[in-house]
Amino acid sequence: MTRDRIYLYDTTLRDGAQTNGIDFSLEDKILVARLLDDLGVDYVEGGYPGANPMDDAFFAEPRTTRATFTAFGMTKRAGVSISNDPGVAATLGSGAPAVCFVAKSWDYHVDVALKTTLEENLDGIRQTVEAAVAAGRETMIDCEHFFDGFKANPDYALACARTAHGAGARWVVLCDTNGGTLPEEVERIVGEVAKVVPGSHLGIHAHDDTGQAVANSLAAVRAGARQIQGTLNGIGERCGNADLTTLIPTLMLKDAYAGRFETGIAPDALASLTATSRAFDEILNRAPDAHAPYVGAAAFATKAGIHASAILKDPKTYEHVTPESVGNRRRVLVSDQAGKSNLLAELARLGVAIDKADPKLDTLLRLVKEREARGFSYEAADASFELLARRTFGEVPVFFDVDSYRVMVERRFNAVGDLVTVSEAVVKVRIDDEIRMSVAEGNGPVNALDSALRKDIGKYQDEIASLELVDFKVRILNGGTGAITRVLIESMDTRTGRRWMTIGVSENVVDASFDALVDSITYKLLKNGHAGR
Amino acid sequence: MTRDRIYLYDTTLRDGAQTNGIDFSLEDKILVARLLDDLGVDYVEGGYPGANPMDDAFFAEPRTTRATFTAFGMTKRAGVSISNDPGVAATLGSGAPAVCFVAKSWDYHVDVALKTTLEENLDGIRQTVEAAVAAGRETMIDCEHFFDGFKANPDYALACARTAHGAGARWVVLCDTNGGTLPEEVERIVGEVAKVVPGSHLGIHAHDDTGQAVANSLAAVRAGARQIQGTLNGIGERCGNADLTTLIPTLMLKDAYAGRFETGIAPDALASLTATSRAFDEILNRAPDAHAPYVGAAAFATKAGIHASAILKDPKTYEHVTPESVGNRRRVLVSDQAGKSNLLAELARLGVAIDKADPKLDTLLRLVKEREARGFSYEAADASFELLARRTFGEVPVFFDVDSYRVMVERRFNAVGDLVTVSEAVVKVRIDDEIRMSVAEGNGPVNALDSALRKDIGKYQDEIASLELVDFKVRILNGGTGAITRVLIESMDTRTGRRWMTIGVSENVVDASFDALVDSITYKLLKNGHAGR
């Protein structure tokens, strides 16, 4: 049986950017686009060109995505000609091969918000689609408030959909903008629309205001829609958009869908879905939701109780899908065995050879558990993990010792009366029993420390010339200023482009940063193949 | 038209207690039971008597709930007589007026986990129900793995349900124990069961492993079930149980359900649902999920430039229910996409009076945009926003000036050869032209600064005695150690329980923290009603 293709449209960078508390930087947007491309979604909606300087900068970046890069915009306003509409021009001028225009489809909104006639709104949809198609763009119309509009005036809502389709739109996307529509309503209404516009041209855009964005998206698919719009980890305005990290495994692993449909996601990418979801939270610098379907740390966890021993006997009957299929793992108490096999798998991945009977493996397992209990998170910091493992196995030379450091931050009025803040660091390093002291200033304590530490490490100095810090993340692990601080540092070798992550944990943010900096330099030297002393 | 009654069964204290990371104390359980009773659910499942000392202690407490207090347990084991089964005895002996016994209904599990015959399992169900009914208890059977069991062997699964009902069980609850069943499957299977056991005796127990616990519960109701089991804020094993804080408003506010069904929840209790949800998180000592349907802080928040002005014109068409109906509130976020109308709405909410024609409003808008471009995020920091607004309007006195501060972090070997890190801060404050210098140590630079700053602010000292820092968040806004750092500080007045958020942004993490600390103290003094100098 041939299976219908379901197209996945990601709006993390557009609707997701509307999330309360989320502000993407340009660097964030570039990283997220890369994540989405590796995942294999069909469309990446990059943002709203012309709406803010950030999106303009992002659209000006060179595009390397395999996914169809899409610009969001609004249909032509009433009272201006299509060639004079600055919004349409900005969207078409963005260079994106696909464009998605939002259009009103609820008669009430046309009246109240647009203050134009119903006919003029249809005309705006038609002209906008025609202009975009003429400009060679793959064209989509987001029908805003479609379901509320359909309930109020089905003929008009249908006319909007039909007009967009008739003018040549590849996709007509039915949006539940308020998020309040129920799955049974979505299924019925999409079924009605599919009589007018073929389902192969219909998309669904659901929000989670009744906790049913996923159910609504699947209801639309059952009724004929073949494009789903959603976001990574379900971010989005208010309660969020449909969560692609939930929808993708449901579509691919549940017989009811996998038997009828196929997506563009490769099995490999599905098996990395948990890592993708965590990497996205890392970019957002927020703790992952442990209870997220499929990808949450607790999604396959069982607390000691009536199920635990049965699960160990026969996990399949207690798990609706296997954790491995989405790159997650089973967590049951008494998991020393499971812990050891995880560790072995991770070491193999990093190319660290160790016999599984070697008692050093138990030492490493104990160390990892001990340190993770203190706040370390080696999942995110593979360079620090590799150092810890190789140190435990006696494979890491001591390149240098840091005898002491001192950092000072001072805010005061300078000689000309301006308020200034200066940061200065002094580091005392010992290499081959020779002491080297360095001092440096920086625009913050960590920057000053980094400069001082890398100013003079003697015979290794040349080898760290290409080391650069590219990212620095701080997370407070529990409340208050006396809390534990976890610092993650991403470094890059500018010669090879290779990146690695190191970690430091301390009550003191400076101390945690310093440990992560030292790990980064040590890792670089180790990878240079040095024997040390 | 008479409406069918839907019964709500809360399992927060039993299945919720299986949540990874949640451990209720006895005091917690008492508080949660009171919350549930005030909410008005029909049944409160208190726990599993005989399974652990905590639940025994909780069941020994005097009962004052109006809700039917329910004890959980397991049906009679094979090979013992009903009068000799210690589990059944513990459940019946708990004193609870209702009992809920879990029973296998998947033939495979009867075989593998129970190692008994299918007939003996049915016999155990029958004898357990009969014993509980004879003991005068309202009796329920949780059919474990019912949906997987039905798919594998529908006749046997139905036999379990029919046996329980025939023996006198008030409720036969169909459990999706693995959480992997889809809504369309739930609707079809519950429909089949309702041909054998009347829907008025059927319950649904759904888990969120495909993100559809709410949709599954509602699908069961459409197919005839009249009891829903769920938890507060959707806590529960793995991905959680069906979320009652989502289900209750959907049942009561959505026409499709409110027109056909009624619950035992009073309109008043619905209007306190947000407070109930937050109070529960308070008991769990965790941050509420801002994106939760209906009750999340962001559930009625809008950031979108394109929606904000329309929402203020006519909120109803942009909100699927009114925020007031669930005790939540509308928020139009102040962000870089903000216009004057966002600003006015936010000022009105904060009680800051300003005429909309006042040119100071334009100054404030310009300041907000300028600062947000530099990395400030006022949507998260309402106290800093209020200070900025009132300062712009000339309403904030200068309580104190900080002439200078100096922080030192030093790592070195101490006299006994241990590596130690010390942080020390000196702050010079001027109040009424009098200089006060304070010095303090801390476990990190920010903690030291906080202590030094709050050590002596002269005549205001007593007023900040009840100020406490409860959370501290750091976000690096772009790559590298030379990046911009945003610090958010949450403070609390321990006397009133009032909380507020302040923000600082700088290249220097210490500087950013310092600014947020100063804002927090200033805000506290302002709210104390001080005129300052």
* B158 and B83 both lie in a single domain: yes
Nearest-CB residue to A405 (from B335, B336, B411): B411
Residue B10 counted as domain residue: yes
Residue A318 counted as domain residue: no
- Beta bridge partners of residue A331, listed in sequence order: A301
Q: What's the pLDDT score for residue A533?
A: 37
Give residue B311's pLDDT band: very low, low, confident or very high (50, 70, 90): low
What CA–CA distances, in Å, run from B508 to A7, A410, A494, B445, B450?
45, 11, 25, 12, 16
pLDDT value at A120 more than 60: yes
Mean pLDDT over residues B134-159, rounded? 97
Task: State the residue range of the domain holding B77.
Answer: 4-265
| Kind and range of the H or E run holding B109 | helix B107-109
CA B243 to centroid of chain Cα atoms:
10
Alpha carbon distance A104, A90 (integer Å): 19
From A290-294, B222-226, B324-328, B491-495, the region with the lowest mean pLDDT = B491-495
Give how far B68 is from chain A: nearest CA, Å.
24
Provide the whole-model pTM: 0.75
- Beta bridge partners of residue B226, listed in sequence order: none
* B523 and B410 both lie in a single domain: no
What CA–CA distances, in Å, run from A455 to A397, A423, A425, A437, A449?
21, 16, 11, 9, 10
pLDDT value at B458 more than 60: yes
Mean pLDDT over residues A63-89, rounded? 92
Instruction: Report CB contact under 8 Å: A238, B314.
Output: no
Closest residue on chain A to B318 (Cα): A178
Residue A512 near residue B409 (C-beta atoms within 8 A): no
Residue A156 counted as domain residue: yes
Give residue A377's pLDDT band: very low, low, confident or very high (50, 70, 90): confident
Q: What's the pLDDT score for residue B370?
A: 82
Sheet containing A499-506: order of strands: A467-476, A485-493, A499-506
* B186 and B38 both lie in a single domain: yes
Mean pLDDT over residues A317-328, rounded? 92
Count CA within 13 A, CB hemisphere, residue A20.
23
Nearest CA to B378 out of B467, B505, B477, B473 is that of B505
Closest residue on chain B to A19 (Cα): B303
In this complex, is the C-beta atom of B313 within 8 Å of any C-beta atom belonging to chain A?
yes
Residues of B in contact with A305 (CB under 8 A): 18
Q: What's the pLDDT score for residue B338?
A: 55
Residue A194 counted as domain residue: yes
- Supply B515's token pair: 């600014």
Q: What's the pLDDT score for residue A50?
A: 86
pLDDT in tens, A215-257: 999 999 999 999 999 999 999 999 999 999 999 999 999 999 9
pLDDT value at B11 more than 80: yes
Q: What's the pLDDT score for residue B2?
A: 85
Residue B39 counted as domain residue: yes
Quickly tell me which residue has 């999706």 as its tokens: B176
Cα dihedral angle (A243, A249, A252, A258), rounded to 10 degrees?
A: -80
Residue A208 near residue A179 (C-beta atoms within 8 A): yes
Cα dihedral angle (B78, A308, B26, B72), rounded to 10 degrees?
A: -30
Q: What's the pLDDT score for residue B532?
A: 40
Instruction: Report CB contact under 8 Å: B409, A407.
Output: yes
Instruction: Report CB contact under 8 Å: A209, B320.
Output: yes
Residues of B in contact with A51 (CB under 8 A): 305, 337
Of the residues A227, A244, A265, which one is the last residue of a structural domain?
A: A265
CATH number at residue A428: 3.30.160.270
Residues of A in contact with B239 (CB under 8 A): 291-293, 296, 298-299
Q: What's the pLDDT score for residue B240?
A: 97
pLDDT in tens, B104-113: 999 988 887 7
Residue A234 counted as domain residue: yes
Q: What's the pLDDT score for residue A335?
A: 34
Mean per-residue pLDDT over chain B, rounded? 90
Q: What's the pLDDT score for residue B104?
A: 95
Q: What's the pLDDT score for residue B533?
A: 37
Residue A216 counted as domain residue: yes
3-state SS class at A306: coil
Mean per-residue pLDDT over chain A, rounded? 90
Looking at mean pLDDT, say which of A168-172, A350-354, B112-116 comes out highest.
Answer: A168-172
In this complex, is the C-beta atom of B246 within 8 Å of any C-beta atom belonging to chain A?
yes
In this complex, is the C-beta atom of A151 within 8 Å of any C-beta atom belonging to chain B?
no
Instruction: Report CB contact under 8 Å: A290, B21.
Output: yes
pLDDT value at A337 more than 60: no
Nearest-CB residue to B239 (from A51, A113, A299): A299
Neighbours of A503 (CB within 10 A): 28
* B528 and B407 both lie in a single domain: no
Nearest-CB residue to A211 (from B246, B290, B380): B246
In this complex, is the C-beta atom of A503 within 8 Å of any C-beta atom belonging to chain B?
no
User: Pairing relation of β-strands A301-302 and B68-74?
Assistant: unpaired
Predicted ipTM of the assembly: 0.76
Give the burial class of A172: count Cβ atoms within 10 A of its Cβ; 0-12 exposed, 13-18 middle, 19 or more buried: buried
- Supply A243's token pair: 């969560």
Instruction: Report CB contact under 8 Å: A237, B379.
Output: no
Q: Chain A to chain B, count of Cβ pairs less than 8 Å apart? A: 354
* B419 and B494 both lie in a single domain: no
Nearest CA to B480 out of A103, A373, A19, A442 is that of A442
Residue A6 near residue A221 (C-beta atoms within 8 A): yes
Mean pLDDT over residues A126-148, rounded? 98
* B84 and B148 both lie in a single domain: yes
Q: What's the pLDDT score for residue A301?
A: 83
Residue A169 near residue A179 (C-beta atoms within 8 A): no
Of the residues B265, B284, B313, which one is the last residue of a structural domain?
A: B265
* B92 and B236 both lie in a single domain: yes
> Which of A187, A509, A513, A521 best probes binding to B when mutated, by most B CB atoms within 10 angstroms?
A509
Give how far A502 is from chain B: nearest CA, Å.
14
* B395 and B428 both lie in a single domain: no
Q: What's the pLDDT score for residue B19?
A: 84
Nearest-CB residue to A509 (from B181, B182, B509): B509
pLDDT in tens, A443-456: 899 999 999 999 99
pLDDT value at A76 more than 80: yes
pLDDT value at A375 more than 80: no
Q: Produce one character per residue of A230-257: b if its CB has 16 or more CB atoms within 10 Å, e if not.
A: bbbbbbbbbbbbbbbbbbbbbbbbbeeb
Nearest-CB residue to A293 (from B211, B293, B404): B211
Mean pLDDT over residues A353-374, rounded? 86
Nearest-CB residue to A404 (from B181, B215, B411): B411
pLDDT in tens, A5-40: 999 999 999 999 988 878 888 888 999 999 999 999
Instruction: Report CB contact under 8 Å: A238, B299.
Output: yes
* B99 and B193 both lie in a single domain: yes
Give residue B334's pLDDT band: very low, low, confident or very high (50, 70, 90): low
Instruction: Report CB contact under 8 Å: B480, A472.
Output: yes
Residue B469 or B452, more confident? B452
CB interface of B with A, residues 160-219, below 8 Å: 177-185, 208-215, 218-219
With vertex at residue A263, the alpha carbon angle to CA A261 and CA A267, rounded to the nearest 5 degrees, is 110
CB interface of B with A, residues 348-367, below 8 Å: none
Residue A219 counted as domain residue: yes
Quickly tell me which residue has 């149980």 as its tokens: B241
CB interface of B with A, residues 261-280, below 8 Å: none
What CA–CA distances, in Å, run from A114 to A85, A101, A178, B35?
15, 15, 18, 45
Q: Give percent of chain B with pLDDT exceeding 70.
A: 95
Q: Give the start-end residues of each E strand in A206-364.
A: 227-230, 261-262, 301-302, 331-332
pLDDT value at B494 more than 90: no
CB interface of B with A, residues 15-34, below 8 Å: 18-21
pLDDT value at B446 more than 50: yes
Nearest CA to B26 out of B17, B39, B38 is that of B17
CATH number at residue A123: 3.20.20.70
Mean pLDDT over residues B338-345, rounded? 74
* B392 and B416 both lie in a single domain: no
Q: Write phi, then psi, for B125 (nearest 5 degrees).
A: -60, -50
* B477 and B432 both lie in a single domain: no
Closest residue on chain A to B147 (Cα): A320
Neighbours of B415 (CB within 10 A): 6
Give how far B491 is from chain A: nearest CA, Å.
9
Q: Write phi, then psi, for A18 (nearest 5 degrees).
A: -85, 0
pLDDT in tens, A381-426: 889 999 999 999 999 999 999 999 999 999 998 888 888 999 999 9
Mean pLDDT over residues B193-200, rounded? 98
Give residue A532's pLDDT band: very low, low, confident or very high (50, 70, 90): very low
Residues of B in contact with A74 (CB under 8 A): 306
Residue A365 near residue A358 (C-beta atoms within 8 A): no
Q: What's the pLDDT score for residue B530?
A: 67
| Kind and range of the H or E run holding B220 | helix B213-222
In this complex, is the C-beta atom of B422 within 8 Å of any C-beta atom belonging to chain A?
no
Give how far B361 is from chain A: nearest CA, Å.
22
Of the residues A247, A265, A283, which one is the last residue of a structural domain?
A: A265
Quickly tell me which residue has 């906790």 as its tokens: A211
pLDDT value at A333 more than 60: no
Instruction: Report CB contact under 8 Å: B412, A423.
Output: no
CB interface of A with B, residues 381-420, below 8 Å: 402-413
Residue B5 near residue B260 (C-beta atoms within 8 A): no
Mean pLDDT over residues B236-249, rounded? 97
State which amino acid sits at residue B111. Answer: D
Q: Give percent of chain B with pLDDT exceeding 90.
A: 67
Cα-Cα end-to-end distance for chain A: 66
Alpha carbon distance B108, B110 (integer Å): 6
Give the burial class of B277: count Cβ atoms within 10 A of its Cβ; 0-12 exposed, 13-18 middle, 19 or more buried: buried
State which amino acid sits at residue A372. Answer: E
* B16 and B141 both lie in a single domain: yes
In this complex, is the C-beta atom of A471 within 8 Å of any C-beta atom belonging to chain B?
yes
In this complex, is the C-beta atom of A375 within 8 Å of any C-beta atom belonging to chain B?
no
Instruction: Report CB contact under 8 Å: B421, A506.
Output: yes
Number of domains in chain B: 3
Residue B223 near residue B192 (C-beta atoms within 8 A): no
Nearest-CB residue to A474 (from B337, B379, B476): B476
Cα dihedral angle (A31, A33, A38, A43), rounded to 10 degrees?
A: 170
Which residues are within 8 A (CB) of B338 and not within 5 positions of it... i.e. 6 or more apart? B305, B308, B365, B368, B369
Residue A299 near residue A292 (C-beta atoms within 8 A): yes
pLDDT value at A308 more than 70: no
